[in-house]
Chain A
Amino acid sequence: MRLLTHNMLASNVRGATTGYPLTLEATNWCTKEVELNSDFIRGLLPKIDWRALVAATRAIGLPELLPEEQPPEEEIFAEGAADVEGSAIRRIHHALLEVHVQEGSLVCPDTSRCFPINKGIPNMMLHEDEV
C-alpha cells in the first residue's frame, strides 16, 4: 500500500463520524522505484491531505522526509527540481508513490476498528455487523 492510498482511505464502519485520517501502523515496508512524472504530481497535490501524509511518513519512521507545512508550489515545481536529489518534488514523489507498506494495519480514529494490510493489500471490507 502506497502512502497515496492511505491518504485516500477512510473507515466507513457504522458509528464512525468521519473515520479519517486512519492511523497507520506498519510492521514491514519497503521502497519501490516509480518513475517521476511532474505533471502527475502537479495534478495530484491539490487533492492530497498534507497533514495526513506527514503523519503517515512519521508513522513508518521517516520523520525527516516531509516538512510540517506544505512547501509553496513555486518551490516544488521549480524548473529542473525533479532532477535534483533531495528536492521537494522528489521527496513528495517518494512519500506518495515509492513507500510501500507490506504488512501492518490502518486503525479507525473513531472506533479503533483495525483494517489489516497484508501482502501490500489493505482490506477495507466490513464485517456483517459493521455495515
Chain B
Amino acid sequence: MWYLCVFYHRLLDYRRPEVESLAELFAGPGARESVEWRMPENHHVDSPFHLVRLPGDERLAAQVANRSLLVKGVYELWGYGTTYEELEKSVREYPDERKLPFLVPESSFKIVIDSFGKVISSQEQNEIIQSLTYIPFKGRVNLKKPDHRFFVMETDDYGSNNGLPPVVKRSIFFGREVGAADRHLLPTYQLKSRKYIGPTAMDAEMAFLMANQGLASPGKLVYDPFVGTGSILVAAAHFGAMTMGADIDIRVVRDGRGPNCNVWSNFEQYKLPEPLCLLRADNNLPPWRPGLKEMFDAIICDPPYGVRAGGRKSGGRKLIKGVKGPYTVPDEKRDNHIPSTAPYSLAECVHDLLHLAARMVVMGGRLVFFYPVLRGEDGTANPQFPEHPCFKLITSSEQILSFRYSRVLLTMVKVAPYTEEIEKLAAERHREFRENHQKWMEEGNLHSAVFEPAQDGKPDRDSKPKYRGKYV
C-alpha cells in the first residue's frame, strides 16, 4: 500500500535513506530495494511530502516511522485536493471499508491541522475541523491519548525564494496517522546536557541517523574505531546494540575529565549498557589476532579528516624529521613512555578503515562513515567516493557545512568475502602509504582548502543561492 510520508524539513538528503534502512531492519535483508517512492503532483523533490510504498503491512510502516528521526508522520492517505472542495470529494470517494473501522463509537480520536510554509490561525483551524462533517466520526474526542489521530495538512503556492522548496499549487492532504518519529530523544541526548563531550562529539540527531544507517539493534555488535567521547556508540546503544570502541588518544578513552566524566559515565547518564570494550589502539596497526574476522555487524564512525581534528597514527619522530635511523626508547623509560604519533592523511585513514571493515564486518553488515567533500565554484560537489571490492555503496547523504565543504554520510554494505588476495593488495597499499607519507599528507590537506581566505577579498557569502535546499 502507498502511504503519505511527511518529513521534518531538515537534512533533506538523509530522509529517504533512513526510511529505506529501517525497512531493511524491520522487514529483513533486501527489503530496502523494494521500497518505492513517488512525489505528490506538483511537488519538488525537496518537499517534505512524499509517497512511499513499503514491503509490508501497516505494522512495518509504524515500526519504521516510530524508530526514525526525520519522519514527522506516516499516514494512510484518505484524500487529497488543491481546494477543500476537491479534498471532500476525494475523501468521500475513499472506500468506506478502509475508513469506518477507525470511526466507530467505542474509539477516541483527535484531528490535527498542520501546515508547511504557511500559518493557519486557530480560528481557521477550527473552521477546517468544523467543515469535516462529511466524515462520519462516531467516536469520542480525546486530545491527550486518542486511539486514532487524523491530520489535515496544507501547503501553499508560496514563491520559490524564501528558502522553501518551490510548490506550484496549493495542496491539502487528509490522512490517518500510522506512526511518527520520537523526537523526544533529542532533548534527552542533546550534547549540551551530556557530561563528557569533546570538540568533535557527534551531534545527537546525526548520531541516531548514523545508528539507523548501521541498522543498530539488540543482538548486534557495533564498533567505532575513532570512538572519542563515545557519542556515536551512545546512539547505537540506545537502539539496543552492543558496542565496542577504540581510540589512539588514551587520555580520551581512559581518563576523560575525571572519575565521573568519561566515556563510561556517558552511558551511565542515559542508563545504557556500557561498551563491551574500549581500548587504545591505532587504526593504522589494529591489534586483532590473526584469523579473527567478521566480528562486527556494523562499523559506524566519523574519521578524523583534518579540518576540525586531524588523525594521528603511530611512528612519529622518524617520519616528521625525516631521520633515517630508527628511534629507540631507552629501557629505563619504557614503562611510562608515551609514544609519539604522526599525522595521518585522510587517504590512508580511509584506506585503513575500509580494509579493517572488509575483514571485521560480517557479510551483509554495514560500514557507515562521514567523508569530506570540497565544493566547487558553483556550490555543487562532484565527489569521488572511496571504493573497496568487498563493499557496495548504497547511499550517500550530503550535509553542507560551509560554502567550501560538505560532509557526506556514506553507507556501504559488505557484499563480498574477505580473501587472501584482498589482504595482500591491502598490505601493498599500506606499504606505499608508509613510503610516501609526505606526498599523501600534502595531497590530502583539506584544512587549507577550507580555511584559506577568499582570493579577491570578497566574502563567499554573497554567492550563496537564496533557495537553501540541502542547507536546512
Contacts and interface: CB of A to CB of B under 8 A. Distances in A.
A and B are partners in one complex rather than unrelated chains = yes
Interface of A: 1-2, 4-5, 7-12, 18-21, 32, 34-35, 37, 39-40, 43-44, 47, 49, 97, 118-129, 131
- Sort A-B residue pairs by CB-CB distance and give the 10 closest, nearest first: A10-B289, A5-B277, A124-B287, A39-B219, A20-B289, A121-B254, A124-B281, A128-B327, A40-B219, A123-B280
Given A5-B279, A121-B280, A131 B287 contact: no
Contacts of B315: 128, 131
B120 interface: no
Nearest to B248: A125
A129 B329 contact: yes
B207 interface: no
B326 A129 contact: yes
A20 B290 CA distance: 8
Interface residues of B, number: 43
B314 A1 contact: no
B337 interface: yes
Contacts of B279: 1, 5, 9, 121-124
A126 B285 contact: yes
A8 B242 CA distance: 16
Contact of B329 (A11, A20, A32, A128): A128
A128 B316 contact: yes
B109 to A, nearest CB: 38
A34 B328 CA distance: 43
B250 interface: yes
A124 B280 contact: yes
B339 to A, nearest CB: 5
Contact of A11 (B219, B287, B337): B287
A120 B244 CA distance: 13
Contacts of B281: 124-125
A83 B182 CA distance: 33
Contacts of A39: 219
A25 to B, nearest CB: 15
Contacts of A128: 314-318, 326-329, 339-340
Given A21-B289, A40-B218, 9 more contacts: A5-B276, A9-B279, A9-B287, A12-B287, A19-B289, A43-B219, A119-B255, A121-B254, A128-B339
Given A40-B219, A40-B242, A128-B339, A120 B289 contact: no
Contacts of A8: 288-289, 292, 295
Nearest to A4: B276
B23 interface: no
Nearest to A115: B287
B332 to A, nearest CB: 13
A125 B290 contact: no
B294 A47 contact: yes
B175 to A, nearest CB: 37
A10 B291 CA distance: 11
Interface in B210-258: 218-221, 242, 244, 248, 250, 253-255
A104 to B, nearest CB: 14
B376 to A, nearest CB: 39
Nearest to B341: A125
Contacts of B318: 128
B277 A10 contact: no
B13 interface: no
Given A40-B221, A127-B329, A10 B288 contact: yes
A39 B287 CA distance: 26
Contacts of A129: 326-329
B287 A121 contact: no
A98 to B, nearest CB: 10
B339 A127 contact: yes
A30 to B, nearest CB: 12
Contacts of B354: none
Nearest to B255: A119
Residue among A19, A120, A128 having the largest count of chain B Cβ atoms under 10 Å: A128
B334 interface: yes
A120 to B, nearest CB: 7
A1 B278 CA distance: 7
Nearest to B247: A121
A55 to B, nearest CB: 13
B282 interface: yes
B289 A9 contact: yes
9 contacts: A2-B277, A5-B277, A12-B287, A19-B290, A40-B218, A43-B219, A125-B314, A128-B314, A129-B326
A107 B329 CA distance: 19
A123 B314 CA distance: 13
Contacts of A120: 264, 278
A86 to B, nearest CB: 23
Contacts of B280: 121-125
B81 interface: no
Interface in B271-319: 273-274, 276-282, 285-290, 292, 294-295, 314-318
